[in-house]
Amino acid sequence: MTDINKESISVLNHLIQTSKDGQEGFKTCAEDIKHPELKALFVKRAADCATGAAELQAAVRAMGGDPEDSGSVAGALHRGWVDVKSMVTGKDEEAVLNEAERGEDHALKAYKEAIEKINKHNLVGIRDLVERQFHGAQRNHDQVKALRNQARAQS
């Protein structure tokens, strides 16, 4: 396996963990929220993250690598914090949306770092996939932030 493949697989495996974290995070948000439209949105976003992770896993396999199949320890700790915080705050919309936005901030950071590595190491074989998924993460972030701002304005 070439060094380029190893580096590409490493970048993609990190993004798989990020996607799995997003999937579980959105699932947790869906469980914690009462508002039916927000619950449906979070369920959809969890499914989108699962699809993104599967796409990344397929790319790792195509390069001869062993894809990650779970999220990160940091993601699990964040979900635990969300659960504790939700119990304290009564799982109100704004609190859940704040935590969803924090999770999306983490996802954006991970994708930006991946794009920097792709550019630094000239990993052209994965650039389109990662950039497309980055734009999806940006849309998720912007939507969650707008919903959070809306909930904040109503409180």
Q: Which domains does the chain possess?
A: 3-154 (1.20.1260.10)
pLDDT score for 114: 97
pLDDT tens digits, 75-109:
555 555 555 555 545 567 888 888 888 889 999 99
Q: Residue 31: pLDDT band by 50, 70, 90 thresholds?
A: confident
E strand map for the chain: none
pLDDT score for 2: 81
Q: Quote the CA–CA distance of 25 and 4 in Å, as a whole number.
A: 31
Residue 65 zone, left/alpha/beta (φ > 0; ψ -120 to 50; rest): beta
pLDDT score for 113: 97
pLDDT score for 8: 95
> Looking at the predicted structure, is the pLDDT value of residue 71 above 80?
no
Q: Quote the CA–CA distance of 138 and 148 in Å, as a whole number.
A: 15
**What's 40-73 look like in SS3?**
HHHHHHHHHHHHHHHHHHHHHHHCCCCCCCCCCH
Q: Which two tokens mark 6?
A: 């190893």
pLDDT score for 86: 53
pLDDT score for 9: 96
pLDDT score for 82: 55
Average pLDDT over residues 121-144: 94
pLDDT score for 155: 76
pLDDT score for 56: 97
> Looking at the predicted structure, is the pLDDT value of residue 118 above 70?
yes
> Looking at the predicted structure, is the pLDDT value of residue 10 above 70?
yes
